[in-house]
Structure formats: structure tokens, C-alpha cells
Amino acid sequence: MIVSSLRRCSLCLSSHSTIPIHSPLPYPPLLLLIPLRFLSVNPNEEDSPTLSLLVETLGFTPEAALSVCGKLRTNNSENVGSVISFFKGRGFTADQIRSMVRRFPEILRQHPERNLLPKLEFLGSKGLLGPDLGEFISSHPVILKRSLERFIIPNFNFYRTILESDKRAASPDIAIAPNMRYLLDNGVSKSNIAALLHRDDTVLHSSRARLREAMRVLKEMGLDPKKSTFQHALMAVLRMSKSSWESKARLYRNWGWSEAELLSAFRKYPLCMAVSEDKINRVMSFFVDRMGWRPSLIAEHPILLTQSLEKKTIPRALVLQFLHSKDMFEKHYSLAHFFKMSEKAFLERIARYQEAAPHILAIYKDEMNKPR
């Protein structure tokens, strides 16, 4: 039998269901302290075709299959087999079906043609086909428990207004819909919500209490939920504990930022609060101690805190130092912009100096490619 070892365990225990008064052991075996009803195996379950289907067709272990059978509370193995065949016939792998059953055992009680087919056809009509459909359903099988007319279609229409794509609207995790509606009702732009869904949907899985508190804090700071920076502010606040936030704020103040500068920097580029304290120290030390900048200048351009020191800031600083040594750097040009501009714009910029300084590009490339 598939779980004969489990049966032997239960039979052994049933013959010693009471602990001898004069047990030679200093304490009774731990197994004897466990009620037999949790260890005994129902022979009908062990021998059931359903259990065999789960083990032989989907690769469940006997123990995991027993657990599923216990949650199913049905002996209709014919329907279980039909559900498995239904998904396999639509390209679902055994791993995907096993994942679905593990997450949502009740799916095996669904009627394939009456309950499951209309939902898969709807999702397929919106672009979720083949591997995409299998991957989505295996990750979110509970959607198949929901009513097509009362839940799936209305939620699809809601997602569609935000994501502006049938395929993308068909696939979001249904658990985040309430938080998406909450953000929308509280003034967060659709583009910000779509960006959160694409970049970091863990934000949308936050508890309502945390989300509400984050919204309150950000509005008090004066951040506009319609602006693109708001999505980054929401990610920064929700990813961080209060103690971590206070520690980073204290660090910036230690480097000379005022409260007003700290708030202004966060409004301009919220991810300046998402970098590690080590990174804050290294960047501030580079600009303040080595470059001689005022701390307030970094507060005016907080994006500098998030850029790579080794791959962007230091190589450009060497180019700047070279230009200054040759008295070639335009005095009116913004130092901060020199470090902030895109790679393409930067290369175009220094190309202007190549005739007078042929080695300038080599200086930059050598520092960029230096092993770290």
C-alpha cells in the first residue's frame, strides 16, 4: 500500500494506547503523547483511487496526498480524475496542477466543463494563453473559486482601466484589488498604481492599516499622489521600519542636512531614503570630504545618493578633475548635472573635449572597467 508505513505506525500505537505505570523510560515516548486520531490512517483513504491519482499522476508524496484527501471530504475520484485530465489537456504541467491542488484542494471538486472552462475561456480571450495561463492559475488557483460574473469580470474591468492592456489586466493577483481601489480612491494616479504593480507588487500586498498610515504620512509631508515620485515614496515608506527611517534621517542630519533639506530631498527623490546607511556615508563622504561640496548641494540633488559610486560617480569625478587641471571645464556648467546626466549625454559631452584632450575618453573608460 502507498502509506503502509503510516498504517504500521498507527497499528503499533493502537496496541499501546495507554502508558504503563512502571515504564522503564524516565518519560513516556513523545509519540504516545499524541492523540491517536491525529496519527491513525483511515483505511478507506489509504486505498482510495483519489489518493492513488494524486501520487501516481501528480507526483504527490503519500503524506501530502493524504492531507489533500482529508481536505477534500469526497470520494468522487472520477471527478478528481476529470479535473486533472481537464488541466493536462489544456497544457498545464503536472507541477502546475500539483501546485494548484496544494494551494486550493477544493479545485478537485469543481466541475470541469461547468465551473472551470468558462473562467479559463474568459482569461484566454483576454490574452492569457498557453504557458502564461498555466503559470498564472498555478500561482493564484483560488481565482477559480470565484464567480465569473460577480468577481472575475468586474475585477478584470477595474484592472483594465488602470493597466490599459487586456493581458496585463487578466493576470494580477486578485488579493491586491482592494488596496488598488483604496489608492485610487485616495488620489493616487492610475499610472502610479500600474507602476507599483509592475515594479513592486509587495507594496500592494501591505495590510490596509499600514497602507493607510503610509498615505497619511506622505500627504503630511506634502507629496502629491498624482506625481510619479509618489510611487517611490510609497515603496520607501512601506519597505522600512520606523526605527530604520529615523536612523537614516539622523544620519543625514549628522552630515549637515537641516530638517527642511531632508524633507525637500525626499520630496524630490524619495529613494534617497531607501539606500543603505553605509551607502549614505560613502556617497556623502565622497562629495563632502573629497570633492569639497556643501552637504546642502547633495540635498538639492538627492538622486546622486542612489547612483553607483564605482561605476558612475568616481569615473566622472576623474574626468572632471582632468578638465579642471587643463582649465577646460566651463565655469557656468552645473557640477551636479555633470554627475546626473545619462551615460549617452555624458559621452556626448566629453566628446567635445577630445580634440584638445585625446586621452579624456580613455581616462573615463579605464576607471569604469577597473576591477572592484
Q: Are 336 and 297 in contact (CB under 8 A)?
A: yes
Residues 178 and 201 in one domain: yes
Measured CA distances, 199 to 192, 195, 214 (Å): 10, 6, 18
Tell me which residue has cell 493581458. 167
Residues 274 and 207 in one domain: no
Residue after which a domain boundary falls, among 288, 304, 320: 304
Greatest mean pLDDT range, 68-77, 248-257, 348-357: 248-257
Q: Is residue 334 part of a domain?
A: yes
Q: Is residue 147 part of a domain?
A: yes
pLDDT band of 371, cuts 50, 70, 90: confident
pLDDT band of 3, cuts 50, 70, 90: very low
Cβ-Cβ contacts under 8 Å for 248 (sequence gap 6 or more): 240, 273, 277, 280
Q: Is residue 41 part of a domain?
A: no
Look at the alpha carbons of 318, 323, 327, 333 in this order and tell me if their dihedral is positive or negative. Answer: negative
Output b/e per residue, 8-24; b: 16+ Cβ within 10 A: eebeebeeeeeeeeeee
Phi-psi region of 127 (alpha: psi -120 to 50; beta: other; left: phi over 0): left
Residues 178 and 159 in one domain: no
Q: Is residue 29 part of a domain?
A: no
Q: Say how far apart CA 231 and CA 143 lie, in whole Å.
A: 27
Q: Is residue 3 part of a domain?
A: no
pLDDT band of 75, cuts 50, 70, 90: low
Q: Is residue 37 part of a domain?
A: no
User: Is 50 exceeded by the pLDDT of residue 17?
Assistant: no
Greatest mean pLDDT range, 41-45, 166-170, 190-194: 190-194
Cβ-in-10-Å burial (0-12, 13-18, 19+) of 133 comes to: buried
Residues 79 and 167 in one domain: yes
pLDDT for 177 = 82
Q: Indicate the residue type of 275.
A: V
Q: Say how far apart CA 241 and CA 243 lie, in whole Å.
A: 5
User: Is 90 exceeded by the pLDDT of residue 219?
Assistant: yes
User: Is 70 exceeded by the pLDDT of residue 139?
Assistant: yes
More confidently predicted of 37 and 152: 152
Domain count, the chain: 4
Rounded mean pLDDT of 156-160? 85
Residue after which a domain boundary falls, among 187, 214, 239: 239
Q: What percent of the chain has pLDDT over 90?
A: 52
Residues 230 and 262 in one domain: no
Cβ-Cβ contacts under 8 Å for 73 (sequence gap 6 or more): none
- pLDDT tens track for 333-348: 788 998 999 999 999 9
Residues 288 and 319 in one domain: no
User: Is 50 exceeded by the pLDDT of residue 28?
Assistant: no
Mean pLDDT of the chain: 84
What's the count of helices (H) and strands (E) in the chain, helices before strands?
22, 0
Q: Is 331 helix (H, G, I), strand (E, B) or coil?
A: coil
Q: Say how far apart CA 51 and CA 38 lie, in whole Å.
A: 18
Cβ-Cβ contacts under 8 Å for 174 (sequence gap 6 or more): 140, 142, 143, 146, 151, 155
Greatest mean pLDDT range, 2-6, 163-167, 248-252, 320-324: 248-252
Residues 165 and 177 in one domain: no
Quote the domain boundaries for residue 283.
253-304
Q: Say how far apart CA 204 and CA 225 lie, in whole Å.
A: 15
Residues 184 and 257 in one domain: no
pLDDT for 289 = 96
pLDDT for 262 = 97
pLDDT for 187 = 95
Residues 185 and 144 in one domain: no
Residue after which a domain boundary falls, among 171, 187, 220: 171
Cβ-Cβ contacts under 8 Å for 114 (sequence gap 6 or more): none
User: Is 70 exceeded by the pLDDT of residue 253?
Assistant: yes
pLDDT band of 231, cuts 50, 70, 90: very high
pLDDT for 234 = 95
Q: Where are the alpha helices (DSSP H) in 126-207?
A: 130-139, 153-163, 166-170, 177-185, 190-199
pLDDT band of 268, cuts 50, 70, 90: very high
Lowest-confidence segment of 24-33, 48-57, 127-136, 356-365 by average pLDDT: 24-33
Q: Give me the phi and psi of 79, to 5 degrees please.
A: -70, -40
Q: Is residue 230 part of a domain?
A: yes
pTM of this prediction? Answer: 0.66
Residues 111 and 123 in one domain: yes
Q: Is residue 8 part of a domain?
A: no
Query: Which of 276, 277, 273, 333 minimizes the C-alpha distance to 303?
Result: 273
Angle at CA 336, nearest 5°, toward 331 and 339? 110
Q: Are 305 and 279 in contact (CB under 8 A)?
A: yes
Lowest-confidence segment of 116-130, 190-204, 300-314 by average pLDDT: 190-204
**DSSP label of 42:** -
User: Is 80 exceeded by the pLDDT of residue 186?
Assistant: yes
pLDDT for 5 = 40
- pLDDT tens track for 30-48: 333 334 333 334 434 455 7
Q: Is 312 helix (H, G, I), strand (E, B) or coil?
A: helix
Rounded mean pLDDT of 290-294? 93
Rounded mean pLDDT of 72-90? 86
Rounded mean pLDDT of 92-114? 93
